[in-house]
């Protein structure tokens, strides 16, 4: 349990720092989000419960380090973890799993932006949303190709031996 | 597996416990949003997290920064065709060295431009290096710079990138600060048209272009008009700094003019920037280090 929590903290910080120093500066106007992709990868690999936990925690941390109201990313990525964990089955073909998760991450970005606009009483820039969605979809899918194997490897090492018995 | 059940192949169902947890966490997040918008009680927590993330980002930047700057420098190298033609005739080692030299030269040019600008405005200027974007990138357009309160940075100070104004400081920590770029959808800046003297408000769109709304709906706007920061005393920004150039003007059915503009300094290729060390905006009890409230259209 302690090892899982430590691993989750390490993964969350790594995702945020790489977003700040690498992904963000290299794609400044593109809505690519490594933390959202990490949440989706954890949800695919470990299920909706772990996805929700990672989504809420990572979102709250990102909110506290940002300038927008606290809770926006926590709520958005909570939903991302729950929905991707629910619908992206790891037993499916890798391509369809990644596509589904990338759609989830891209839609989470749009949902977050709409939520932020509503909270701050800003106008929602509807004409730019489809373009943003497509760019986010492509970039998030590319990031997922890299992140998903890493998530499977880390979570596979942390999973306790079950001797063939699985609960619930 | 992991406390979840499967109702049919290809889908996993949340257990009742997970559904309850999801509902509770969603309510908690909604409460956080409501409370933060109403009373901003998370200032200390934000300061702590921003400080830790800023320090860690500095350390991370020392590792990934060179690789990132190399990738960011590639377009500049591609733009200089003559130099590339020369480079192509040299061996791979020499080419790598010349690329590094090009990147260093770009930084030196930016510092020289900053100094020139500081001399012209008569204000002390603090050079800073961009070490990353904000963690909420995609929702807001901020950059993190490697100078903080001990260097003289305070909330609200204007930040330039040599060619023009790029934003203002919205968060100050010990070793880093956050700059809200003028391209952010929440950013707004009072500007003056250099050709006509007309005033207006320039707002970000979150997509790289800016939108100008003149105070006089019938104001004369033309492509190529230069916009400078608004009159002294009417803006939190330092006055008379070049902000943007109008790229297209259009007239709404109501007869009002609006225009799109491109920033004077590229907001997507920031490396070395300068913080104009002015006094903080006249707000009683302004903290030296901390976070400024984001005000929509905070011009």
Looking at the predicted structure, is the pLDDT value of residue A111 above 80?
A: yes
Tell me, what's the pLDDT at B26? 94
Which of A48, A74, A107, A125 is best to mutate for the B interface (most B CBs within 10 A)?
A48
Question: For chain B, which residues make up each domain, given as ranges?
Answer: 49-299
What's the average model confidence in pLDDT over B102-110? 63
Could you give the maximum distance between any two Cα atoms of chain B, in Å? 71
Query: Which residues of B are less than 8 Å from A68 in CB distance?
Result: 136, 139-140, 294
Mean pLDDT of chain A: 84
Tell me, what's the pLDDT at B108? 65
Do the Cβ atoms of B135 and B124 come closer than 8 Å? no
Tell me, what's the pLDDT at A72? 92
* Maximum average pLDDT range among B16-20, B119-123, B203-207: B16-20
Contacts of B274 (CB under 8 A, 6+ apart): B114, B117, B118, B125, B126, B127, B128, B159, B160, B161, B162
Which pair of tokens denotes residue B140? 């807001």
Do the Cβ atoms of B173 and B54 come closer than 8 Å? yes
What pLDDT band is residue B297 in, cutting at 50, 70 and 90? very low
Which pair of tokens denotes residue A165? 């018995």
Looking at the predicted structure, is the pLDDT value of residue B284 above 60?
A: no
Residues 92-111 of chain B whose Cβ lies under 8 A from any Cβ of chain A = none
pTM of the predicted protein model: 0.66
Query: Which residues of B are less than 8 Å from A113 in CB distance?
Result: 138-139
pLDDT of A90-109, one tens digit each? 777 778 888 989 999 989 98
pLDDT of B11-23, one tens digit each? 678 888 889 999 9
Contacts of A94 (CB under 8 A, 6+ apart): A148
A70 alpha-carbon distance from chain centroid: 17
Tell me, what's the pLDDT at B96? 57
Counting one residue from chain A and one from chain B, the pairs whose CB atoms sit within 8 A come to 213
Which residue is listed with tokens 């070490």?
A: B131
Question: For chain A, which residues make up each domain, given as ranges?
Answer: 2-25+32-158
What's the average model confidence in pLDDT over B114-132? 74
Pairing of strands B272-276, B158-160: antiparallel
**Cβ–Cβ of A68/B13 closer than 8 Å?**
no
Which pair of tokens denotes residue A74? 């926590």
Query: Which residues of A are less than 8 Å from B144 in CB distance?
Result: 20
Tell me, what's the pLDDT at B289? 42
| Enclosing H/E stretch for B249 | strand B242-251
To the nearest whole Å, the CA of B166 is away from the closest chain A CA by 14
Which pair of tokens denotes residue A142? 């590319």
Looking at the predicted structure, is the pLDDT value of residue B295 above 90?
A: no
Comparing B85 with A71, the larger pLDDT belongs to: A71
What gap in Å lies between CA A68 and CA A48, rounded to an integer?
26
Residues 124-143 of chain B whose Cβ lies under 8 A from any Cβ of chain A = 130-143
Q: Put residue B156 in one of left, alpha, beta given phi > 0 → left and psi -120 to 50 → alpha.
A: left
Does A2-25+32-158 carry CATH code 3.40.50?
A: no
Do the Cβ atoms of B195 and B189 come closer than 8 Å? no
What's the average model confidence in pLDDT over A37-63? 92
Helix-helix angle A34-46:A2-18, to 10 degrees? 150
Residues 236-265 of chain B whose Cβ lies under 8 A from any Cβ of chain A = none
What pLDDT band is residue B288 in, cutting at 50, 70 and 90? very low
């Amino acid at each position: 349990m302690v090892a899982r929590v430590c691993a989750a903290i390490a993964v969350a910080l790594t995702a945020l720092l790489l977003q700040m120093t690498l992904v963000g500066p290299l794609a400044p106007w593109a809505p690519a989000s490594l933390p959202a992709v990490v949440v989706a990868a954890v949800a695919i690999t470990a299920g909706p419960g772990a996805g929700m936990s990672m989504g809420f925690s990572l979102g709250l941390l990102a909110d506290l380090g940002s300038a927008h109201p606290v809770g926006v990313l926590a709520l958005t990525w909570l939903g991302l973890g729950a929905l991707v964990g629910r619908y992206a089955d790891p037993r499916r073909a890798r391509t369809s799993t990644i596509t589904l998760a990338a759609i989830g991450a891209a839609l989470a970005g749009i949902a977050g932006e709409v939520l932020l606009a509503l909270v701050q009483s800003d106008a929602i820039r509807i004409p730019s949303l489809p373009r943003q969605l497509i760019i986010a979809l492509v970039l998030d899918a590319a990031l997922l190709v890299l992140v998903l194997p890493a998530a499977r490897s880390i979570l596979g090492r942390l999973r306790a031996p079950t001797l063939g018995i699985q609960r619930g | 597996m992991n406390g979840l059940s499967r109702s049919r192949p290809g889908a996993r169902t949340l257990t009742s416990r997970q559904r309850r947890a999801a509902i509770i966490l969603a309510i908690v997040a909604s409460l956080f949003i409501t409370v933060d918008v109403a009373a901003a009680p998370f200032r200390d927590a934000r300061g702590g997290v921003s400080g830790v993330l800023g320090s860690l980002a500095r350390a991370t930047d020392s590792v990934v920064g060179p690789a990132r700057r190399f990738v960011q420098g590639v377009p500049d190298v591609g733009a200089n065709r003559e130099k590339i033609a020369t480079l192509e005739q040299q061996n791979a080692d020499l080419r790598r060295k010349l690329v590094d030299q090009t990147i260093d030269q770009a930084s030196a040019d930016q510092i020289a431009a900053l100094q020139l600008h500081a001399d012209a405005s008569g204000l002390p200027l603090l050079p800073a290096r961009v070490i990353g974007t904000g963690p909420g990138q995609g929702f807001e357009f901020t950059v993190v710079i490697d100078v903080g309160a001990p260097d003289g940075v305070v909330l609200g100070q204007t930040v330039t990138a040599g060619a023009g104004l790029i934003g203002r400081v919205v968060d100050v920590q010990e070793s880093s600060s956050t700059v809200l770029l003028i391209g952010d959808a929440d950013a707004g800046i009072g500007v003056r048209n250099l050709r006509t003297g007309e005033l207006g408000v320039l707002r970000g769109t979150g997509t790289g272009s800016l939108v100008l709304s003149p105070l006089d709906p019938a104001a004369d706007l033309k492509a190529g008009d230069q916009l400078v920061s608004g009159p002294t005393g009417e803006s939190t920004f330092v006055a008379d700094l070049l902000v943007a150039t109008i790229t297209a003007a259009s007239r709404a059915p109501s007869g009002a003019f609006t225009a799109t503009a491109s920033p004077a300094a590229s907001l997507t290729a920031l490396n070395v920037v300068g913080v104009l060390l002015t006094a903080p905006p006249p707000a009683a009890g302004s903290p030296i280090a901390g976070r400024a409230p984001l005000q929509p259209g905070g011009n």
